[in-house]
Structure 1
């Protein structure tokens, strides 16, 4: 495995995320997620009941009584919108909903494209991104990040008929590989991925990178046939395993190429000062680690696996 060490979580706290992607419907909405989470008020009341924030972004959210969160409507099991039931569900949905609960407000959703989220300059259209975002160094220039709320292995898939791609350090060289455009997988393949506290072994050379709007679209092209449009695809283990489990004709090969931390993001250029919201959200993430809430969400959505612990 190409496991990389992460610097202490505190280094990512209040720094100022590509694993998920998405440009999907609906544009906005409200409601909570499902799936085994806690929604109990922390001891001493919610953040909005106890904060002395005034005139800043946190105060505005508390006054409105609504936290607006950007996420992906087509990135199961992390997040998905189910039109027939008018319901949001997934790991990221539960995490975001619990953050809203502990702030003491309702939640609403926005689904902008991934490149818009990662670029910053949100103009107040949403308050947080809870979309499995990696705090790459370039994103830290425009976004604040909490400590990671979970960590995912990045894996390679091929069509089930493929027998030539097995050794990932050699067999992927020169191949056409599908990824979500602008995600960390693309940066890994073009050898530009840079995250404070991580070192990467860029073992794939001269790949033809084909970018998609989201990981699942790349996987759909891979499923068309071995080499029909793609030789392989990269995504998180969680998305990959879910796609395999649905009966699609693809398979995971080799060990993870790298592990990445995934964090909640907040726009540095928000019209109102975001500092107290960053601090409050980071504290909530820490508490959710400590009280087992994140572990429960992870085990519920990822087949009993706890991905909230840092890989060494």
Structure 2
């Protein structure tokens, strides 16, 4: 079972990692939800420099993208978050063993999975048809909508996406938030390509928003709520997208996919899912 994490100061985390998050040792892979062999760098999360996939056929290596509070982040050198606790609990319900975690930039997760450097992706990745052309997903384990985040008390206070016309908008590379910017804002002529800034992680985007160099950010609702609680930003509005997160695996890893789905069901039917949710979302 997953051990309860110690409580942490989210404001201190965000302030401390804002400028330095890019300095976290990240493996240069990108991706969304995809099949993954998990591997770790030799840091305090217990990673090593060898190929990521577990040596034993029942050992798996997980990949995640820190900087997406409260799902995954690094605090005092330790990888923590909702996805971390949940995957560990889910794997405990299976015949697999979670050998390691590997920290990877989000848009490098799927390539890392395909290259067998990791075996599973646990990074609040939305299940989409495009991603399913490349990787497979477990059953969903979390639902979320999208929000627009703005500077607290700032001049830009949109009520809908159309109100972002002509403004400078940001999102994290490879996320569904970026997809919304491309499909709903750029493609519709509301903003130009030059009005969009893509970031490796949302911590950097929020810093720019606080400084006023960005007007708005498109971001998952639970993550936006965390930033709004700890930084000088606020949610302008939320719009329904009906997104569902799943653990990503390689398309040929049917046994692992089924095991993770059954593990999710077992954890959700027990009290553990509620305990993990309460810890990270105060719900």
Give the TM-score taking structure 1 as reference length: 0.68
Q: Is 1:73 the counterpart of 2:40 in the alignment? A: no
> Which of 254, 259, 274 is 1:275 aligned to?
254
Q: Distance in 2 between matches of 1:169 and 1:73?
A: 28
Matches within 5 A, 1:1-150: 24-25=24-25, 27=27, 28=40, 63=56, 66-82=59-75, 84=76, 86-104=77-95, 105-119=97-111, 122-150=114-142
Q: Secondary structure at the match of 2:278?
A: helix
Q: 1:23–1:259: structure 2 CA closer, same or farther, 3 Å change rule?
A: farther
Q: Which has the higher helix share?
A: 2
CA shift at 1:265, angstroms?
A: 0.3
Maintained 8 Å contact 1:133/1:264: yes
CA shift at 1:166, angstroms?
A: 3.2
Q: 1:204–1:100: structure 2 CA closer, same or farther, 3 Å change rule?
A: farther
Q: Distance in 1 between matches of 2:274 and 2:188?
A: 32
Q: Distance in 2 between matches of 1:168 and 1:150?
A: 25
What corresponds to 2:226 in structure 1? Answer: 242
CA shift at 1:26, angstroms?
A: 5.5
Q: Which has the higher relative contact order, 1 or 2, with Cα contacts under 8 A spaced 6 or more apart?
A: 1
RMSD: 3.0
Q: 1:203–1:253: structure 2 CA closer, same or farther, 3 Å change rule?
A: farther
What corresponds to 1:223 in structure 2? Answer: 210
Q: Secondary structure at the match of 2:204?
A: helix
Q: Distance in 2 between matches of 1:163 and 1:182?
A: 28
Task: Mark the runs of 5 or more structure 2 residues left unpaired by the alignment.
Answer: 1-21, 28-39, 47-52
> Which of 188, 193, 200 is 1:213 aligned to?
200
What corresponds to 1:55 in structure 2? Answer: none
Give the TM-score taking structure 2 as reference length: 0.74
Task: Mark the runs of 5 or more structure 1 residues left unpaired by the alignment.
Answer: 1-21, 33-59, 193-201, 305-312
